[in-house]
Structure 1
Amino acid sequence: MENEKQNKKLKILCLHGFRTSGAILQKEVEKWPQPLLQKLDLVFMDGPYPAQGKSGVDGIFEPPFYEWFQADEEYKEFYNFEECLAKIEKFMLTHGPFDGILGFSQGAMLAATIPGMQREGVALTKVPKVKFLIIASGAKFGSSKFGIPKLASASFSTPITTPSLHIIGETDIVKEEGIGLLESFVDPLIIHHPNGHTIPMLDDKSLEIFYNFIAKIQDLP
């Protein structure tokens, strides 16, 4: 039974960054070593809305590009946030059940709110509670830099006990916000890397932290 748990792949919903796509995030994540990827069943979803402006990766990756929701220039007012969550829930019902969520950038901000919204019973109530989060280049809604969507207003009202692994880049434009997000989680594990706003390659130390995180999740009831 113990071996079965350790051999079972963790099914993870992967949420891409702003104005990119599931296919782009898949290309980035697949840089990770095969022995790690073989432990994960990764499912990549496209954001529900076509990009409503120029993508930062245009010319680097092929379109189409998508976004999860929209916001004003100050990132204080949000649009289509509830609709986005309804579409994620529908995807999870169709393609799940999922054990956890991996998010990058805008997808990471969104992922970080989900345990709190499930706890409050305001979103993703038809699917099982997520068992863990992997947050890459994340930031916190409701920080000094960002507003918070109404639906997520109580997401960080109490510390989030959902196990979390945070991937933080030394030269990432949201490094400080990513560090600030850690305060909302109980016992977060952290992988630091020397790069910017990207999914990094993983060195031996980072891989050890990742494998320890996976072992911790597989031990959950």
Structure 2
Amino acid sequence: MTKSRTHEKPRILCLHGFRTSAKILETQIHKWPDSILEKLDLVYLDAPYPSMGQSSVEGIFDPPYFEWFQANQDFTEYENFEECITFIEDFMVKNGPFDGLLGFSQGAVLAAALPGMQAEGLVFTKVPEIKFLILISRAKLGGSKLSAPLLAANAFSSPVKCPSLHVIGENDLVKPDSIALLDSFVDPIIVHHLEDHTIPRLDDQSLEIVNNFIEKIRNLTKT
């Protein structure tokens, strides 16, 4: 765990969106150019629960589809939230160490809350500290639309200090929640794009921002 990793790429666990899959997220991320992806060691994980309803990507991507946890219609009650975090931690113990997390949609909702829960000593006690986050199309547990499961009740009680890259779509339905979540992070780095609830292609300005962020996290993972 403490060995020097000077010559290694930042190792990132990638958490896919609601009722999609690791394979789908990997396909979506490959919209980003090789000049970005070759600098990162990306590991994709399927969520532990098979989809319990229709997926928004049916007819676009092949099944199977998975979900991280479940909630009732008004997001006041959650099921399998603690279990899914235990599932992720067990994977990290067996396949790590990991430096940071990348999440899209439901995966990003989860990833955003994990550093705060880890800082409280409630989760991820068997793995190293999360050093950075890449969050794409996400909302906040305990925000305007999503109440927080008990385990995550204080996840944002203090500003999240680890470096964070936030990818926000101008036409994304969760854009207001993505903007609101920025207040919970110290010095968030932001990529804006014109697409909707998706992983966007990166224009020249976005590429520069992402490259600068990667250089920042590479320096974090050299020791």
Q: TM-score, normalised by structure 1?
A: 0.96
Q: Which residue identity is paired with 1:19?
A: R
Between the two proteins, the alignment pairs up a number of residues equal to 218
- Check the 8 A contact 1:6/1:215 in 2, yes or no: no
- 1:12 matched to 2:45? The reply is no
Distance 1:90 1:18 in 2: 21
Q: Say what the alpha-carbon RMSD is for the aligned residues.
A: 1.2
What's 2:202 paired with?
202
Distance 2:142 2:6 in 1: 37
| Deviates most, 5-14 or 110-119 | 5-14
What's 1:98 paired with?
98
The percentage of counterpart residues that share the same residue type is 59
- 1:156 matched to 2:125? The reply is no
Alignment of 1:106-185 (within 5 A): 106-185=106-185
SS at match of 1:219: helix
Alignment of 1:15-34 (within 5 A): 15-34=15-34
Write out per-residue CA displacement over residues 187-215 of structure 1, whole angstroms, 9 at most, x where no aligned residue: 00000000000000011111110111111
- Check the 8 A contact 2:9/2:218 in 1, yes or no: no
Report the alpha carbon displacement of residue 219 of structure 1 after superposing the two structures with TM.
2.1
Report the alpha carbon displacement of residue 217 of structure 1 after superposing the two structures with TM.
1.3
Q: Which residue identity is paired with 2:72?
A: D
Distance 1:6 1:94 in 2: 22
- 1:35 matched to 2:32? The reply is no
Report the alpha carbon displacement of residue 7 of structure 1 after superposing the two structures with TM.
5.2
What's 2:68 paired with?
68
In the alignment, structure 1 segments of 5+ residues that lack a partner are none
SS at match of 1:172: coil
- Check the 8 A contact 2:144/2:177 in 1, yes or no: no
Q: Which residue identity is paired with 2:140?
A: K
Give the 3 Å change call, closer, same or farther, for CA 125–219 of structure 1 in structure 2. Answer: same
Report the alpha carbon displacement of residue 6 of structure 1 after superposing the two structures with TM.
7.1
What's 2:190 paired with?
190
Distance 2:194 2:15 in 1: 23
Distance 2:82 2:33 in 1: 36
Distance 1:31 1:55 in 2: 21
Higher RCO, Cα 8 Å, sep 6+: 2
Distance 1:8 1:188 in 2: 25
Write out per-residue CA displacement over residues 19-38 of structure 1, whole angstroms, 9 at most, x where no aligned residue: 00000000000111111110
Distance 1:177 1:139 in 2: 5
SS at match of 1:168: strand
Write out per-residue CA displacement over residues 82-139 of structure 1, whole angstroms, 9 at most, x where no aligned residue: 0000000001011110010000000000000010011000011100011000000011
Distance 1:5 1:122 in 2: 27
Give the 3 Å change call, closer, same or farther, for CA 94–5 of structure 1 in structure 2. Answer: closer
